[in-house]
Amino acid sequence: MDYSWLIIIITTLCISFFLRKSNNQKNNKKHPPGPGPFDFSVIGSLLWGVTNIELILRDLKAKYGPLFNLRIGIISRPSIFVASHSLAYTALVQQGVVFSDRPKAAQTNVIIHSSRINISSAPYGPLWRLLRRNLTSAILHPSRTKSFSKARSRALSVLVQQLHYHSDSAKENVIRLIDHFQYATIYLLVLMCFGDKIDETQVKRIKDVQRRWIVSVGRFINLSFLPRWLEKIIFRSRWKELIQLQLEQERIFIPLIEARKKAKSSNNLNHHEEEEVMAYVDTLLNLELPKEKRKINHGEIVSLCSEFLTAGTDTTSTSLQWIMANLVKYPSIQEKLYQEISEVVVHRGNPKPKGSVIDQGVVKEEDLEKMPYLKAVILEGLRRHPPGHFLQPHMVREEVELNGYVIPKDATVNFMIAEMGWDPYVWEDPLDFKPDRFLLADGSDTEEFDITGSREIKMIPFSAGRRICPAYRLAMLHLEYFVANLIWHFEWTTADGDNVDLSEKLEFTVTMKNPLCARIRPRINQLELSPNSCYVI
């Protein structure tokens, strides 16, 4: 029997132990508590891939408190976990500059993100500021967001028509929803990214390659636990799959980038033509990197477009499924929401005898502001089922103190946002779905709730501080718009004898272990319209 692997592991453990012991003797500073080096040094790395790590972290929180240290891997930087609202507020908001960096990228992450040319994983500094400012000013500014209303109408039309078609053809009108939600959200984001000249064939190709990215990204990141030369021997087929997937993504995206570049040049020459809505890729074509003093290349544009699509698609479709699952599970909440929507839509403006019925076929964006219960439903969905249970890891730029403990420079800090949203000391009956908790006492309006965490943190599904998701307002708009129209167009019920299973599984986001299947029936008010009139925006 070959004992070489056992010898290597034992030797590395001994080196790790003595290195830590030596460091502890040199440094008497009080670090966050946590398990010893032998508790998680090797076994923890293995468990990360095969066990529900969240259950282990909850046990550690119960044992060590809301701030604890866990080393994942044989020799690694400290990995700090924060599960307290007040400590998260101190770190992310009050000491935001120190906590705003990202851990050094794994080799696979460098390949996936073109040497970290993206917003989410870029180090805190000039490059990150440039990329974020470009996105927020050119795409996410309220005036720009409004310019994409036609894209939202198209995506809604596709979704509603698909649901009508599949509910008619499905057995007893029971259909699986997540595929439709994913397609509608990727359809919308593709139009925002590459412009409204994209056809459905191109959307489907983009959806397919992006879904494979999302499903495979965890396996690719896990390649980085070993030295690169060793990974390429042991995981040769997986490395090959990573490179092939990247090349396929470029084959699909680059022609779209070139077409957009050509179209913009043509429009500049023909000023009399109607100006198109600016797409995200348009803003990237002339973007210049601050240090290199050069424009970003095609591979880097592909990385940024992929980030844009992934960040806005899977999180939104996952949240949409969780919210609709609870509305199916609790019909009284669904009915209350429908009544609010009906009041706003039916009494919109001064109805005319026949002309106004088309206007009542869809919930418009301006209607959403008059629906406090809708907003409460969305907030409760994000609290109870955040699409990510942890924020993307942060890294401290310098040694800092938090809650009396020293966080060493370059330590990775993880924020357990699901635990914060389920804290019984902050939320009454935290595991129940109760939208009314976000309403004023008389139910007339939503309580002024700070979703950004800038005043205090109670829940942070979009993070907080400098690294807050720049598109959180857009995400809220998309969720409100889709949920309102899904409830307005259809009545949602469970299949006979079936209950809605709210158990979870981890993919790219934390999604439903058993995807939502529901019976949907067009509302009577929609049946009064001609077959396609409800899609007219």
First to last CA, the chain: 71
pLDDT in tens, 11-37: 444 544 544 544 544 456 799 998 865
Distances (CA, A) of 235 to 132, 224, 245, 399: 35, 11, 15, 36
Model pLDDT, residue 206: 95
Alpha helices in 451-500 (DSSP H): 472-489
pLDDT along the chain (537 residues), means of 10: 42 48 57 73 45 81 93 66 96 96 67 67 92 94 92 95 81 83 97 92 94 71 49 62 85 94 70 68 91 89 94 94 97 97 81 43 92 97 96 94 94 95 95 95 74 94 96 97 97 84 89 93 59 37
H/E element, 11: helix 4-26
**CA trace torsion 522, 526, 529, 530 (10° rounding):** -30
Can you say which residues are annotated as belonging to the binding site for heme?
A: 469
DSSP percent split of the chain into helix, strand, coil, nearest 5: 55, 10, 35
Give the domain ranges of the chain. Answer: 3-9+28-350+360-522
Residue-level pLDDT at 220: 52
Binding site: residue ranges?
Answer: 469
Q: Give the pLDDT of residue 213.
A: 79
| Phi-psi region at 368: left, alpha or beta (left = phi > 0; alpha = psi -120 to 50) | alpha
Nearest residue to 187 via CA among 168, 210, 163: 210
Q: Is the dihedral of CA 174, 178, 179, 185 positive or negative?
A: positive
The predicted pLDDT at position 27 comes to 55
Helices and strands (H, E) in the chain, number of each type: 21, 11
The CATH code of domain 3-9+28-350+360-522 reads 1.10.630.10
pLDDT, residue 28, reads 64
Question: Which residues, in sequence order, are bridge partners of residue 504?
Answer: 512
